[in-house]
Structure 1
Amino acid sequence: MLVNISLIIATYNRGSAIAPTLTSALQQSVPVDELIVVDDGSTDDTANWVRENFPSIKLITKKNGGTSSARNAGARSAGGDWLMFLDHDDLLLPSAVECLVGLSQQYLEAASLHADHIYDNVASGVRHENHHYTLPAFRRLLDTEAVNQMSNSRLYGYPLYRSLLRGNLLQQPYMVRRSVFEAIGGYSEDVRYCEDWDLYLRIAQQYQVAVADDVISRHVIEGENLHLTAAEKQELMYERVLRRRWRSHRWLQVTENRIARQKLAAIYKTQGDRAWREGTGSVAWRKYLGSALNWPFDHVVLARLLWWAVPAIGDLRRADVESV
């Protein structure tokens, strides 16, 4: 079966530092049919540098609109039946495309294809050679019920969606059928910092997903990575994604609703704790109340709400007495 692949890399102000990523994409044992770089309104010379040094690459330039917008622009211009996405600071191992193509032939029902990667946090020095096996959170993927399984790969159905609701378990690079990408509306352009997780959730909610244990890339975490420097904004995006998934559930989907509400409650609790430490009591109280309304079984949240409620009730009673 022939597989026609368009590899899309969105970039912003990466300059010549994008060279290793592009080189890794071009040095594949099974080459992609087209490599697209989308420059998302860089204010440096990234676009010209790519044009001059990698003339064989299809270059798209656009006004800055964020990673999701750039990836969608790349998808619209792509000619492949499969779309492959790669971050501009990650590196493909030489057999990456070959692995995903093989996965597509093993599991013809799969709508998207994923594999393992090397996690390399150059900011902290932490490195994991097999991310899915060495990090406890990612090991949940191996415990998720599979539709079909081979020696080093699995095909997941709806249970993967429930696992993803608890937190992201998949990473780039990955391949998705163009028809599926278009059917779910592509990347949500109002979601940042966790746009991949949002997309994976929407795919897994409706389609089957194949995952291989092969390591196919080096996932590089740098000091300037958005998800390291914008924790509070990331929380707001998590909330947006979870609320949309919660609203997409039917009321009889008890497990999915419980997971989403627990995750929302945890976000509000974190925000309340932060406001508590900063001394903004009214904000903390509202966040704790939001946490309790979503999941009223956290004794710490309930205790802190009572801590505010008892003095407030006393003040109201004193005010009533004084007004008589």
Structure 2
Amino acid sequence: MPFFSVVVPTYNRSEMARDAVQSVLNQDFSDFELIVVDDGSSDNTADIMTSLSNKLHYHRQINGGVASARNAGISLSSGQYICYLDSDDLWPKNKLSTYKLLIDSRQSPAFIFSDFHKHDISLSQPYKVSNTDMFPYILDLANPLGGDHFEISGDHLLELLFRGYPLYPSTFAVRRDVHDHYRWDPGILKSEDFNLVLKISSRYSFTYLHQSLATVRVHGSNKSADFLTKNKINLASMKLYRDLYSPKTKRSLCNHYISQKYFSDGRSYLSQGLKSEGIKSLLHSFKYPENWKRLSQKLISRVQG
């Protein structure tokens, strides 16, 4: 039984998938299995994947979306931890060995994620600022465990996720028994990762590794312009968490952050000239009395300013 199962879902990006898979094969920690789930590609993905290594398990399925592909990878896996790498992303060679050291020193945490850098492939180098450089409040909410290791739990974890700190699947390591409780929702075609981490956070604390251990590549096919749909799905996931997974004592806190989300989305829409969407979102934010005082103060300050 391998220690790690690495699941790489892919669809019609054979050359980028080759790079991603090669970054797994180059790891300096060898106790892993590699599962590539081809979600019905029509390009030459099959030829490239099957030619790379006999360590690679290639599985092809009818197109069902990335959540479906990841679930297929879980079902085919046998490792103690399941790690994910999107087929347009890359890992440094010490990714798995660094995670293994953390797991051994922290009594097998349930869910691990790390910092990462983005790289617009039209540019020669990745961005200099990392994800946590852009969202530094994670370090205020996290409990230091020593070195680069942090734990986030309870209200702090809820705040981290509801305030919008972005977690990317290419940094996830999920203990197998956690996935026995929670799988990816194949009915969600955008922000399926946000939905998953919200559900897991209702039962487990998260362990954060303050090192950049993934490169998330930005390119034409993953620059989503449909931000309206994504925002609506994120709000639906927040409400689902509140109604199905959050204890009653936390529902008021959930409403506080949902109201904030509506307000910030509304301001963003107005700044982009989307007047109708902006007004509707701002009005929705006032449906939650948990945030009335804060929102009223914001509006008064803007009028006076």
The TM tier, using the shorter chain, reads: 0.7 to 0.9
For the 8 Å contact 2:149–2:208, the answer to whether it is kept is: yes
Match of 1:18?
17
Aligned residues: 293
For the 8 Å contact 1:38–1:73, the answer to whether it is kept is: yes
Match of 1:322?
none
Aligned residue among 293, 296, 301 for 2:287: 293
Structure 2: which amino acid aligns with 1:223?
Answer: G
Aligned residue among 149, 152, 157 for 2:153: 157
* Alignment of 1:189 onto 2:186: yes
CA distance in 2, matches of 1:141, 1:276: 31
Structure 1: which amino acid aligns with 2:77?
Answer: A
CA distance in 2, matches of 1:203, 1:143: 21
Deviation, structure 1 residue 288: 4.4
Match of 1:261?
259
Aligned residue among 227, 237, 242 for 1:231: 227
For the 8 Å contact 1:6–1:78, the answer to whether it is kept is: yes
- Pick which of 12-21 and 199-208 moved more: 199-208
The structure with the larger Rg is 1
Question: What secondary structure is seen at the aligned counterpart in 2 of 1:36?
Answer: strand
For the 8 Å contact 2:238–2:254, the answer to whether it is kept is: no
Question: Residues 37-63 of structure 1: CA distance to partner in whole angstroms, max 9, x if unpaired?
Answer: 001111222123312344431111111
Match of 1:46?
45
The gaps in structure 1 that reach 5 residues or longer are 304-324
Question: Residues 298-323 of structure 1: CA distance to partner in whole angstroms, max 9, x if unpaired?
Answer: 469989xxxxxxxxxxxxxxxxxxxx
CA distance in 2, matches of 1:219, 1:31: 23
Match of 2:80?
81
Question: Residues 130-178 of structure 1: CA distance to partner in whole angstroms, max 9, x if unpaired?
Answer: 514421x2x11111141x5102211222222321111134332221001
Match of 1:240?
236
- Pick which of 211-220 and 62-71 moved more: 211-220
- Pick which of 54-63 and 68-77 moved more: 54-63
Question: What secondary structure is seen at the aligned counterpart in 2 of 1:128?
Answer: coil
Q: Closer, same or farther in 2 for the Cα pair 1:113/1:131, shift >3 Å?
A: same
Deviation, structure 1 residue 72: 0.6
Deviation, structure 1 residue 198: 2.1
CA distance in 2, matches of 1:21, 1:3: 20
For the 8 Å contact 1:292–1:301, the answer to whether it is kept is: no
Match of 2:174?
176
Q: Closer, same or farther in 2 for the Cα pair 1:209/1:252, shift >3 Å?
A: closer
- Pick which of 5-14 and 101-110 moved more: 101-110
- Pick which of 262-271 and 39-48 moved more: 262-271
CA distance in 2, matches of 1:100, 1:130: 22
CA distance in 2, matches of 1:167, 1:30: 32
For the 8 Å contact 2:202–2:246, the answer to whether it is kept is: no
Q: Closer, same or farther in 2 for the Cα pair 1:267/1:242, shift >3 Å?
A: farther
* Alignment of 1:91 onto 2:79: no
CA distance in 2, matches of 1:302, 1:140: 24
- Pick which of 168-177 and 292-301 moved more: 292-301
Question: What secondary structure is seen at the aligned counterpart in 1 of 2:35?
Answer: strand
Question: Residues 97-137 of structure 1: CA distance to partner in whole angstroms, max 9, x if unpaired?
Answer: 001111111211510122222221235778434514421x2
Question: What secondary structure is seen at the aligned counterpart in 1 of 2:221?
Answer: coil
Question: What secondary structure is seen at the aligned counterpart in 1 of 2:261?
Answer: helix
Q: Closer, same or farther in 2 for the Cα pair 1:237/1:203, shift >3 Å?
A: same
Deviation, structure 1 residue 73: 0.8
- Pick which of 210-219 and 88-97 moved more: 210-219
Question: What secondary structure is seen at the aligned counterpart in 1 of 2:220?
Answer: coil
Deviation, structure 1 residue 230: 2.5
Question: Residues 269-312 of structure 1: CA distance to partner in whole angstroms, max 9, x if unpaired?
Answer: 655776854xxx5x666544333324556469989xxxxxxxxx
* Alignment of 1:69 onto 2:65: no
CA distance in 1, matches of 2:199, 2:213: 24
Match of 2:218?
221
For the 8 Å contact 1:109–1:208, the answer to whether it is kept is: no
Question: What secondary structure is seen at the aligned counterpart in 1 of 2:232?
Answer: helix
Aligned runs of 1:266-281 on 2, under 5 Å? 266-267=264-265, 270=268, 276-277=274-275
Structure 2: which amino acid aligns with 1:50?
Answer: M
Give TM-score, length-normalised by structure 2.
0.84
Question: Residues 224-250 of structure 1: CA distance to partner in whole angstroms, max 9, x if unpaired?
Answer: 115x33322212221221121222334
CA distance in 1, matches of 2:274, 2:133: 34
CA distance in 2, matches of 1:151, 1:285: 46
Percentage of pairs with the same residue = 22
- Pick which of 29-38 and 251-260 moved more: 251-260
For the 8 Å contact 1:103–1:210, the answer to whether it is kept is: no
Deviation, structure 1 residue 196: 1.8
Structure 2: which amino acid aligns with 1:176?
Answer: V
For the 8 Å contact 1:117–1:130, the answer to whether it is kept is: no
